Amino acid sequence: MNQMTAPELLTETLDQGVLTLTLGNGKAHALNAALIGALHGAVSRAAENPDARVIVIDGPGHIFCAGHDLKEIARHRADPDHGEAYLRALFADCAAMMQAITFSPLPTIAMVDGIATAAGLQLVAACDMAFVSHNATVCLPGVVNNGFCTTPAVAVSRAVGRKHLMELLLTGTPKSADWALRAGLVNEVTDPAELRARTMAFAATLASRNPGPIASGKVTTHRHLDLDLPAAYEMATETMIGHFMDPDRIAHEKDSRWSG
């Protein structure tokens, strides 16, 4: 099934449980207000779609995502408040979209064959997993542009250690795919020609698994990461019991015993 949502911004393709969201908005796939809204809407709809089991976010070409649309921001400098109201709305909407990706009950995977910079790297880090090619580079360039990548650091800080985070933030220089793998930003680095097949095969495997325990397990994992150890085990135990009491799991166990 193919569904087009504002093709210049986002293309949605659903195949065998894998929903691929392909970023548009020019070659840089810049996160302007419209693309942020389109991506948030697509992720939210996917959570309510029983046919969708996994989300893959793809920014094809040399640039996976160049971050916020600086030209759009510049246009609002002519506003009476120099764009402050626009920026407040933009960053609130972006934060909500990133959280929708992270907290989606569906596994989310970034597929990266190019540059992921600033909020583009934030988008990668917001996903549960990232598969990248050797062409990929990552960067938080705020300091070289008279700023600081403060909001992208929220997502990135939850994927890497503090030293790697500060190296990205304080140098502003691009890092290789192998560096990103060592830092824990990505799960796997592969040849560019194999990236799509490898990512989609992995996504299809996830899509074939029982969605109920994955959804509740993922939500619980995000919650218990912020708890102390006893509280984390208490929360995880209740969810684990729910996994074993899942009707689909019980039915599968009965079928397996019968066939055996």
Residue 79 near residue 43 (C-beta atoms within 8 A): no
Q: CB within 8 A of 1, min separation 6: which ones? A: 13, 14, 15, 51
What pLDDT, on a 0 to 100 scale, did the predictor assign at position 244? 73
Q: Quote the distance between the C-alpha of residue 221 and its chain's center.
A: 16
What pLDDT, on a 0 to 100 scale, did the predictor assign at position 226? 82
Among 117, 205, 123, smallest CA distance to 169 is for 117
**Integer angstrom CA distances of residue 50 from 46, 128, 177, 242:** 8, 20, 34, 20
What pLDDT, on a 0 to 100 scale, did the predictor assign at position 83? 86
* Type of residue found at 111: M
Q: Which residues of the chain have pLDDT under 70?
A: 1-7, 256-260
- d(CA 189, CA 208) in angstroms, rounded, equals 23
**Integer angstrom CA distances of residue 155 from 57, 203, 234:** 16, 22, 26
Cα Rg for the chain, rounded, in angstroms?
19
Give the β-pairing of 10-15 and 54-58.
unpaired
What pLDDT, on a 0 to 100 scale, did the predictor assign at position 4? 45
Residue 44 near residue 98 (C-beta atoms within 8 A): no
* Type of residue found at 17: G
Q: Which domains, from first to last, does the chain contain? A: 2-207 (3.90.226.10), 211-259 (1.10.12)
What pLDDT, on a 0 to 100 scale, did the predictor assign at position 172? 97
What pLDDT, on a 0 to 100 scale, did the predictor assign at position 234? 85
